[in-house]
Chains A and B, each alone.
Chain A
């Protein structure tokens, strides 16, 4: 049962009950990212408040449990943090995902996102996990250039 190690309870919970789903106003930047190999897609908006704190990450999209749960976890992790803090989480998550299952996850940095560690062993699914996180990174860069 290799597969179930990827489908952690926490991932399934986020998939069934996504946090912060739905596009909201106001926002500073909106991006649309797709994964052409499987057709997963996400539209994501970022609202940055005073002192560079993330006020809201709202999103909508469709795709597999991994891509949708990753967006939900992203929403939770970014809320109330500074842009800088969130980008270091994105970097750590990216490092974990691209580590082919050989990288030890830093749970202090990643929080719930550590549940995706098992996905790193499935190269075909890494892009699913990273879809919303890459969209977020893109949106933050665009919001800063406004």
Chain B
């Protein structure tokens, strides 16, 4: 299935049955919350159903026909994901349950460990203690904050923060003071889940390389919406999640450079991640299975593989172009709403299709409630798991509209009409 570069959205929408359902009270659904979680196309739903109905068994350890079919489907999902993000090797793709687990996995690798089978210590790149530093930013999702806070509490290392400019950009004016010889890793969002800002990875990476620090990207908001090539980016680790890219929930991905993954200690212990187990010690499976303890999310991974097929069938360039058109339209349309304050870049330059805003005197929870109850418009309201960013802007919460391949300019018109109505209720 191939689509022309300008998306045939009406045809795409037919692949998402939920988009044509009615909500109670006869409201049509206007789904503008894909940054939170995306809807699922029929091919993903059918792939999951078909696997559960006809091919399901455990993977990697069942010596029968179904075991072979399940393992084949699970591992071929890994091949698809690896190709989708340009991973140099399929073994560098670790399936986790979400992006949070992927971030925690990497954070866990740091510290004083004595884990090797022959008792060797921590690889120096992951040795962390008092005097060492980790750098994140004020625009991070809590999942790229809390794992690092826990890590510095365990180890006595320090956490440093990039600021955010009034325009909603990463403030790199003190890059050289923040990222120094003491820095072990820099972990930032590829694209902000609130501001929509796409961060200048190359600038951060250049400085990190000068001082010998590792770089991790939280790509949860970029991989679903843009062509992403991890090798071209040149970073060390990339985390993203399946449910924001048309796949099921319960499946996430960590991509990491192979030699780093090999040098890291295991994360969770259990079945399938071992090579051999004795009573006094164990040795571990090679990557990727070293990091996949226990029965993995089998059908979720297979569903993610189907989502990748679907996205590639349409083309990430075409999806990116479509979202860009929607963002341009929305930036213009929202300008007409009185007292609306956009939190994030006001131009198309280096930004994605996520628009957060406030309306003077009206709390986002009231905005979201009326949009939903009166018009069936689904947006997200609150701090979007980015409380430090909201504190930075001196606001408790925002209303966020986020778009995807199946959204239309008509839905943005509906949002603007809805916002005018909200203002009438509170006038």
B367's closest neighbor in chain A, by CB?
A64
**Could you tell me how many residues of chain A have their Cβ less than 8 Å away from some Cβ of chain B?**
21
B369 touches A6 (CB 8 A): yes
A39's closest neighbor in chain B, by CB?
B396
| Residue among B362, B364, B365, B370 having the largest count of chain A Cβ atoms under 10 Å | B365
Shortest Cβ distance from residue B361 to the other chain A in the assembled complex, whole angstroms: 8
B374 touches A4 (CB 8 A): yes
A2 touches B396 (CB 8 A): no
B383 touches A3 (CB 8 A): no
Interface check A12, CB cutoff 8 A:
yes
A4 touches B363 (CB 8 A): no
With a cutoff of 8 Å between Cβ atoms, the chain A residues found around residue B396 in the complex are 39-40, 62-63
A125 and B425 alpha carbons, distance in the complex (Å):
18
A2's closest neighbor in chain B, by CB?
B373
A125 and B372 alpha carbons, distance in the complex (Å):
14
B366 touches A39 (CB 8 A): no
B397 touches A39 (CB 8 A): yes
A66 and B25 alpha carbons, distance in the complex (Å):
23
A63 touches B369 (CB 8 A): no
A1 and B369 alpha carbons, distance in the complex (Å):
11
**Contact residues on B (Cβ < 8 Å of other chain), bracket:** 10 to 19
**Contact A63:B363 (CB < 8 A) given known A4-B373, A39-B383:** yes
Interface check A128, CB cutoff 8 A:
yes
| Residue among A4, A12, A39, A122 having the largest count of chain B Cβ atoms under 10 Å | A39
A16 and B361 alpha carbons, distance in the complex (Å):
9
**A28-42 CB contact bits vs B (8 Å, 1 = yes)?**
000000000111100
**Contact A64:B24 (CB < 8 A) given known A4-B374, A7-B425, A125-B369:** no
A65 touches B374 (CB 8 A): no
With a cutoff of 8 Å between Cβ atoms, the chain B residues found around residue A4 in the complex are 370, 373-374, 425
A4 and B426 alpha carbons, distance in the complex (Å):
11
| Residue among A1, A16, A122 having the largest count of chain B Cβ atoms under 10 Å | A1
A55 and B358 alpha carbons, distance in the complex (Å):
37
Shortest Cβ distance from residue A143 to the other chain B in the assembled complex, whole angstroms: 29
With a cutoff of 8 Å between Cβ atoms, the chain A residues found around residue B374 in the complex are 1-4
Shortest Cβ distance from residue B415 to the other chain A in the assembled complex, whole angstroms: 15
Shortest Cβ distance from residue B397 to the other chain A in the assembled complex, whole angstroms: 6
Interface check B388, CB cutoff 8 A:
no
A12 and B387 alpha carbons, distance in the complex (Å):
28
With a cutoff of 8 Å between Cβ atoms, the chain A residues found around residue B365 in the complex are 38, 63-64, 66, 125, 128
Shortest Cβ distance from residue B394 to the other chain A in the assembled complex, whole angstroms: 11
Interface check B315, CB cutoff 8 A:
no
**Contact A3:B363 (CB < 8 A) given known A12-B425, A38-B382, A62-B396:** no
A5's closest neighbor in chain B, by CB?
B373
**Contact A65:B363 (CB < 8 A) given known A12-B425, A39-B383:** yes
**What are 5 A-B pairs with beta-carbon distances under 8 A?**
A1-B25, A3-B370, A3-B372, A63-B363, A122-B369
The residues of B with any CB-CB pair to A shorter than 8 Å are: 24-25, 362-366, 369-370, 372-374, 382-383, 387, 396-397, 425-426
- Chain A to chain B: the 10 pairs with minimum beta-carbon distance, closest first: A3-B373, A64-B363, A64-B365, A2-B373, A39-B396, A65-B366, A3-B370, A3-B374, A64-B366, A1-B374
Other than the given A2-B25, A40-B396, 19 more pairs (CB < 8 A) read A1-B25, A2-B24, A3-B372, A3-B373, A4-B370, A6-B369, A7-B370, A12-B425, A16-B426, A37-B382, A38-B365, A38-B397, A39-B382, A39-B397, A63-B365, A64-B364, A64-B366, A65-B363, A128-B365
